[in-house]
Amino acid sequence: MTRVVLVRFAWTAAILLGVSFIAFMLMRALPGDFAVAAAGTTSVAPEVLEAIRRDMGLDQPLISQYLLWLGNALSGDFGTSFVTKRPVLEELPPRFIVTVQLTAVAAVIAMVMGVATGLASARLRGRVDWVVRIYNGLILAVPNFVVGTLIVLLFGLYFPHIPLFNYTPFLADPIGNIGSLLLPAFALALAVSVTISENTRAAVLEVANQDFVMVARAKGLRPRTIVANYLVRNALTPVITVTGLQVASLLGGSILVETIFAIPGMGQYLFDSITSRDYPVIQAIVLLAAAVVVCVNMLVDIAYARADARVKI
């Protein structure tokens, strides 16, 4: 077990290194750079652009730029944001916490919606099953930024008094914080809830055909007891796994949802940094997001192995 975990960690380090390199090269492969993005459409002489590039070290060869960044990153220095001129490590934590809050609320919403619809379609069969499955198919086809934009437009037009855009920090007002995250989290959760719903349905159908449920039925237990104690408990293990694996898509979705709802999280920061070519910030966020996804996957695997004796890692 210890050896396995160690191997896992070695893999994780390799993955993060690869991700940082690819992200670095991909961003540099995009045409245009920070100097041009900052200059905007105002007329700036080429020598001014050159001076900005020299200032930022963008005139060095790419590979030495990367190695410099890597060396600094390994010693815990993620550089300074080009735009705000502040250390990236100071900028990130508060935004990371906001994104964690948003994805947590979204995960809860997705779980509740997914499990409820999945259970309903598995238990009630017939018309309900059809309705749920068609709804799932439709919702999965609608990207979360479309849902988000529609929410923003509809609320802006018909319920202008609802304060959609007043993100409240948790420490200022915990209840208000959750409230201000509800709609964006809903936009983020919709697609994920469909995956959870389908998995719940499949798991419940699977468990329902197991012998121990037959026995429970034969013993004449009440259906409600069977659902609560036998079905849901046993069906939820895979569902939790799937939810864990969906963290990656929640993080990815947060980029546009946070941008649309003006939530000062990591996703919005990434969107902005890509637009303005703020390389140090992009590098740090991509690395952090990759680390989160890798760690969550690892935890899910380990937890699964602990929960189910048949699984070996």
Helices (H) and strands (E) in the chain, counts: 14, 0
Comparing CB distances to another protein, the nearer of 38 and 97 is: 38
37 belongs to the binding site for another protein (CB under 8 A)? yes
The stretch near another protein (CB under 8 A) out of 61-69, 136-144, 172-180, 219-227 is 136-144
Burial 212-232 (b: 16+ CB within 10 A, else e): ebeebeeeeeeeeebbeebbb
Query: Which residues in 63-102 contact another protein (CB under 8 A)?
Result: 81, 83-86, 91
Tell me the C-alpha distance between 264 and 180, whole Å.
12
Task: Select 222 or 237, whichever has its Cβ closest to another protein.
Answer: 237
Q: Is the distance from CB of 188 to CB of 139 less than 8 angstroms?
A: no
Beta carbon nearer to another protein, 66 or 304: 304
The residue within the footprint of another protein, chosen from 136, 180, 193, 283 (CB under 8 A), is 136
Q: Is 83 helix (H, G, I), strand (E, B) or coil?
A: coil
Q: How many CA atoms lie within 13 A of 226 on its CB side?
A: 19
Span of 19-27, 44-52, 99-107, 213-221 interacting with another protein by CB under 8 A: 44-52
Contact set for another protein, span 254-313 (CB under 8 A): 255-256, 259-262, 264, 268-269, 271-272, 275-277, 294, 297, 301, 304, 308, 311, 313
Number of residues counted as binding another protein (CB under 8 A)? 88
Q: Which of residues 238-257 bind another protein (CB under 8 A)?
A: 238, 241-242, 245-246, 249, 252-253, 255-256
Which distant-in-sequence residues (6+ apart) come within 8 Å of 217 by Cβ? 226
Nearer to another protein, 71 or 156 (CB): 156
Considering the complex, what minimum distance in angstroms separates the CB of residue 35 from another protein? 8
Using only C-alpha atoms, the chain has a radius of gyration, in whole angstroms, of 24
CA distances to 118, 120, 169, 172, 173 from 162, rounded to whole Å, are 31, 32, 18, 19, 17
Residue from 165, 174, 214, 228 in contact with another protein (CB under 8 A)? 165
- Judged by CB under 8 A, the residue of 88, 106, 189, 201 near another protein is 201
| Sole binder of another protein in the list 1, 74, 157, 218 (CB under 8 A) | 157
Report how far residue 55's alpha carbon sits from residue 72's, in angstroms, rounded to the nearest whole number: 17
How near is the Cβ of 8 to another protein at its closest, in Å? 8
How far apart are alpha carbons 234 and 254 in whole angstroms?
31
**By the 8 A CB rule, do 91 and 281 touch?**
yes
Q: How far is the CB of 37 from another protein (least distance, A)?
A: 5
